[in-house]
Amino acid sequence: MNPTVVLSTAVAVAAAAYAFKPKKKTELEAKSVPIPEPKSYLPLQIDTVVSYIYNLLRGQDELEMLLKDMKVHGNTINFKGFNDDFIVVTDPSSIQHILAKNQPNYEKGPFFKEIFHDFLGSGIFNADGDTWKSQRQIARPHFQTSEFKDAALINKHVDGLLVLIDKHIATKPDTPLEVQSVFCRFTLDEASEFLFGATVDALKNEQTEFSTAFNYAQTMTAWRFRIPFWKYILPRRRMMTEIKKLDDFVYKIIDDARARQAARAQEKKESGKENEEEEDGRRDTLLDHFLSQQDEDGFDSKYLRDMLLNFLLAGRDTTASLLSWTTWKLVQHPKVLEKLYQEIVQVIGPDRVPGYEDIKKLKYQKQVINEVLRLCPPVPINPRESVEEDVLPNGYYIPAGSAVSYCAYATHRLPELWGDDALEFDPDRWGPERVGKIRPFMFVPFHAGPRICLGQNLAYTTAQLALTRLLQRYDIKASPGFEPHQLGDIVMFSRNGVEVLISHKRPASEF
């Protein structure tokens, strides 16, 4: 008999025996409730795994697939694949348990870290324990409101955004503008200058080497979550080539920052003013902030590279997603758009450039943005891994070492939380009469608990300033026949962009 056949058969039998071997329940598991699972008819849930990947490749919306499964199995589901647990929770009590009450038990975990490591290394969003705590503690002061409340840096890049839109109107006045890609370029420029002190110049050049590599690395990382045995299927050589381009750009910025820091230190030493605070009007970047906080051993360049790319991923994509879906919702609801514009005119005026204090007065605008964040959370699903076995508040058992995700997209749409109109876009639900009904952990677009997003105030400020100036300057309408197809990726975008018709507002004297 062929030895290869014998060996293969033995391995297959051993694997099957292991997979179907009865496992003794722990005491905690015996007292708990097993999580509902979608039916599977083949060993190791092969049929459900293949069906899931097939539907994704056909372009089906995996978030809507999840909502359909919830209607059958309830708000906590275990999507087993190859006998591994992939648990999704959506009820606020379970989310609170995972993110706050028993947060130490739910880490990023080895599975998540391995998938993201090539792209994000050991940065804050791919770290646990002391590594995460250290980076967060150092970064927190830089994201305080005082760092960006003058709005000068944000408005600088909004200026570039308006230039790009003006050019489109001048050259293609009757052609829809795909704003999602434009917003990604805008937030990439703003975030890179806020973090690095060096803009990528994506608004001036749509296909910069950095932005192209960044987009590719993010897309391939997202597919690693979806495909079993991704190491043997997805193209690693191309992935590492694109990451090398990111590294070259970021390491040069780090070297330049170190050189600037050394030059300033030498200048102060020679002037005899080593202990005096600098008052040259220079705005420190996040990179400068980390360099100034390092101990005598210093941070190595790999540590700084990981930190910067982690914050760039969060700073660029989440705000671009928010602006894209806000634009789409507004053109679908012209009355909301008009009410929003009238508030801007009354509070700020038709053409005055707003500052940080101005946008804080735009109460209805904040309601609109929160409603967009509810229906279209930039991070629709957030994965964790259980360290030890646990029981959720609803009684469901979580085995140790299980993948456990909470899905903000689904939670934000539950009728039992938001009412029968949960799927409707209604900014008034955030008004003073109704906002009191929104309980903790019902609304988690920026995460919650100890790992709540450091940049949420910056995201709100950027989105509000950009939206205010866009509506002051342009009329925005729906593009006939266009419909976005949402993509539940690392960040929720539309797979076919967001197209709108845009034109300059007519002066009041013309009416």
Binding-site positions: 453
Q: Which amino acid does the sequence have at 35?
A: I
Q: Which of 349, 336, 353, 383 is nearest to 489 (CA)?
A: 383
Kindly give, in sequence order, each residue whose CB lies less than 8 Å from that of residue 115, ignoring residues fewer than 6 positions away. Answer: 221, 224, 225, 230
**DSSP 3-state percent helix, strand, coil across the chain (nearest 5):** 60, 10, 30
Q: Which of 49, 63, 73, 351 is nearest to 228 (CA)?
A: 49
d(CA 314, CA 322) in angstroms, rounded, equals 12
Query: Please, what's the largest Cα pairwise distance for the chain?
Result: 93
Q: Which two tokens stand for residue 201?
A: 């110049």
d(CA 344, CA 365) in angstroms, rounded, equals 8
Residue keyed to tokens 């975030």: 191
Residue keyed to tokens 């994000």: 120
Here the contacts of 498-501 (C-beta below 8 Å, separation 24 or greater) are: 498/178, 498/179, 498/180, 498/324, 498/325, 498/327, 498/328, 499/176, 499/177, 499/178, 499/179, 500/176, 500/177, 500/179, 500/327, 500/328, 500/331, 500/476, 501/176, 501/177, 501/476, 501/477
d(CA 435, CA 457) in angstroms, rounded, equals 19
Q: Which two tokens stand for residue 43?
A: 């060993």
Binding-site residues for heme sit at 453
DSSP string computed for 442-453 = S--BTB-GGG--
Contact 44, 6 (CB under 8 A): no
Reported as half-sphere exposure (CB side, CA atoms, 13 A), residue 229 has a value of: 5
Alpha carbon 341 to its chain centroid, in Å, reads 28
Helix 109-120 / helix 209-226 crossing angle, nearest 10 deg: 160
∠ at Cα 164 (161, 168), nearest 5°?
A: 140
Contact 371, 426 (CB under 8 A): yes
Q: Which two tokens stand for residue 65?
A: 């697939």
Q: Which two tokens stand for residue 192?
A: 């890179």
